[in-house]
Structures are given as C-alpha cells and as structure tokens.
Amino acid sequence: MNKERIDLAKTTFFLVISVLARKLPVNFMEVCFHPKVNPMRRKINHLFGFILFSLLLTAFAPAVFAQKQNLLEIEQRLNNLGYWITKVDGKSDASTRQAILAFQKVERRKRTGVMNAGDMEALRNASVPAAKYTSGPAHVEVDISRQVLFYVGDDGTVQKIVAVSTGNEQKYFDDGKWQVAHTTRGNYKVQWKFNGERKASLGTLYYPSYFNGGLAVHGSPSIPAFPASHGCVRVPRFADKSLFKMMPVGMPVYVYDRI
C-alpha cells in the first residue's frame, strides 16, 4: 500500500510538471519581479506560483507520509524484538540503521543497513533470537559469525541486540611487534572497566569493559557490516554508555562462532 502511494505521488508530480511546463511563460520570473510589469499581471503570476507550489506539496505529501509510516513500523517491530533503537519515532538515525544491520546479520540476510521488500517480510515474521546460553545469571554473548552482541537476562532470554565489529584477522604493528587482530573465543568475565574515553595506542575506546586482557567491549564511531577491529568488540556510540552500565565487573561474557 505504501509503495502504491509513493508511485501515485511520483506520477502526479511528473504529470503536474508536464502540464504546467506548457503553461508557464518563458519570462515567468521576470513577470513576477520586474518593476515595470503591470501590477495586476504580477498578482496573477504570484497566484499562479502559489497554485503550483500547492500542487507540488499535494503530490509529495502522500509519499512523505507513507515513508514515515513505513519507517515507524520498522522501528517498532525491531524494538519489540530487542534490537537497540534509541527512539521509536519514524525518524531515521544511527540506531535505526544499526538495528536494521543487526537484524540482517541475525537473520543471515544481505548486510546493507537498508530494508527492502524481502527484509520487510522477514521482519514481520521474525521472532526474538535465542541465546546460546540460557541458564545462569544475566550475561553478554558475542556471536562472531553473525557480528552481533546479545544482552541476555536472568531468565535466559535475549533482551538487547546490537551490531558489533570484531577482529579482522589482519596483521598490525603495535607495542614494538607485529600482531594479529584476533578476537579470542571462550568464556570470560568482565575484569575491569573505564568510565569514559580511554586513549590507547590504536585509538580511543569509549566506555570499555575489559573481559580478556586488553580485549574489551567498547564504543566506536565505526561499526561496519564486517569484522574491522584489532580484536576488541566494537559497539555503536549510541549504545556504549548504557551497555557499560549493564555490564558490571564479574558479568559473564561468552564469545563464540555460531555457524
């Protein structure tokens, strides 16, 4: 239905333009603003311009409304499934794109950050993803293969889902030696935390929660659809501070490949 409204609006717009283009005088702007033009003629042309603007507004209004309603449905559905949306308001922001990306990762769809018709159908039929570890206290799971982080509650259900970027397995030079950007798999616990921005040799870490030596879950302005870090688990900036508060020292962190 939304697509039909958008197509109708586009058709109306181009139809209006094609009709009015034949009616517009060549010197339309000159007629409107030239001081020597007859005042009555100027008023007529001002009225004509107002009518043109009103027609264009009428043509585009259904498309804008349809797009906002569609986006609102996407945000509401993603939020209901646990994907991290900062505000469900029908307005696209960083959390909207990252939530769409996380959904595409979880459902093993093409990672674009933009919804197509197939994605929309999958979203309407989707359910909350299952955690790998469903017993024990609240914990965090990092699914390397799907590049997502699950915050799992005490009841074993996934409560929050956010897209991440982990080690890209490439060589890099730091601390006087060559190393491999690898995110170690295993069962860990949050060892220590830094409340704020921590400057490191490889860049700035926002609200890091360290779980294995120098590896941490931390905020980053760069969360691509693929592994790109030096080994840490990057999360989007809009979620880093809240996630920091949700991960106390001692909380289990499970890092795994889930094929």
> Which of 7-11, 153-157, 220-224 has the lowest average pLDDT?
7-11
| Nearest residue to 189 (alpha-carbon basis) of 149, 229, 247, 232 | 247
State yes or no: pLDDT of 47 exceeds 80: no
- Higher pLDDT pick, 31 / 115: 115
Radius of gyration of the chain (CA): 26
For the chain, give the percent of residues with pLDDT over 90.
71
Residue 161 corresponds to which amino acid? Answer: I
Q: What local confidence, expressed as pLDDT, does residue 64 receive?
A: 38
Q: What local confidence, expressed as pLDDT, does residue 208 receive?
A: 98
pLDDT band at 258 (very low <50, low <70, confident <90, very high): confident
State yes or no: pLDDT of 147 exceeds 50: yes
For the chain, give the percent of residues with pLDDT over 70.
73
**pLDDT, mean over the chain:** 84
User: What H or E segment, with its residue span, contains residue 150?
Assistant: strand 148-152
Q: Helix or strand or coil: residue 178? A: strand
pLDDT band at 43 (very low <50, low <70, confident <90, very high): low
Residue 206's Cβ-side half-sphere holds a number of Cα atoms within 13 Å equal to: 14
Q: What local confidence, expressed as pLDDT, does residue 41 receive?
A: 59
Mean pLDDT across the stretch 234-245? 98
Q: From the CB of residue 24, how many other CB atoms can be counted at a distance below 10 Å?
A: 14
- Higher pLDDT pick, 67 / 186: 186
Q: What local confidence, expressed as pLDDT, does residue 11 receive?
A: 53
Total residue count of the chain as it appears in this document: 259
Mean pLDDT across the stretch 93-108? 97
Q: What local confidence, expressed as pLDDT, does residue 241 receive?
A: 98
Every domain of the chain and the residues it spans: 2-80, 139-256
CATH of span 139-256: 2.40.440.10
Q: What local confidence, expressed as pLDDT, does residue 175 receive?
A: 87
pTM of the model: 0.74
- What are the pLDDT digits (tens) for 48-95? 555 554 544 444 444 433 455 699 999 999 999 999 999 999 999 999
